[in-house]
Amino acid sequence: MMNKNTDKVEQALDKAQAECGRSGLRLTDKRCNVLKILLQAGEPLSAYDLADRYRDEVGKSLSAMSAYRMLDFLQQAGLVHKLETTNQYVACSHIACEHEHQVPQFLICDRCHTVQEVGLRKQLLNELKASIENTGFMLASQQLELHGVCEQCRLQD
């Protein structure tokens, strides 16, 4: 179990390294460590949580300011997503995937705080966008964050 997860993290990191190289982005050791922490966490972290874990795991301090800067970079590179409703960050679940990344939708469990990333079909998204824009509202982002209770937590009821 533990090993399997470690493999998955390593695989995602290798892929991220290769992708960044192709796009001319520099995934420095620091940035790579930040991504690794998010991948290992398996749950969303705030920039402050991240700085704490960075200190514990890497053994060096990381200011909240640099945590934000690095998260920003990883977000631009498409490796990390920001959850606007909770102000937290989560590693993309599709880093190691070959398929095209869809507009992400996040299912956020309000009990255990795990997040599931699911892709939304383009057509559905366009319909949603059209019906919203019919009201004269301008969407800033197409990312959806839905709050509720995950299957694991529901099974514990």
In the complex, which residues of this chain contact Zn ion (CB under 5 A)?
92, 94, 97, 104, 109, 111-112, 150, 153
Q: Minimum distance from CB of 138 to Zn ion (Å)?
A: 24
CB-nearer residue toward Zn ion: 54 or 106: 106
Question: Distance between CA atoms of 12 and 24, rounded to whole angstroms?
Answer: 18
Q: Minimum distance from CB of 59 to Zn ion (Å)?
A: 29
CB-nearer residue toward Zn ion: 32 or 149: 149
Q: Minimum distance from CB of 156 to Zn ion (Å)?
A: 8
CA dihedral 74, 34, 51, 92 (to 10 degrees): 60
Question: Distance between CA atoms of 46 and 27, rounded to whole angstroms?
Answer: 21
Residue closest to 34 by CA, chosen among 18, 54, 48, 57: 54
Q: Minimum distance from CB of 101 to Zn ion (Å)?
A: 6
CB-nearer residue toward Zn ion: 62 or 79: 79
E strand map for the chain? 80-83, 88-91, 103-109, 115-120, 144-148
CB-nearer residue toward Zn ion: 60 or 99: 99
CB-nearer residue toward Zn ion: 47 or 150: 150
Enclosing H/E stretch for 97:
none
Q: Minimum distance from CB of 40 to Zn ion (Å)?
A: 17
Query: Six-digit token pair at 7?
Result: 């493999």
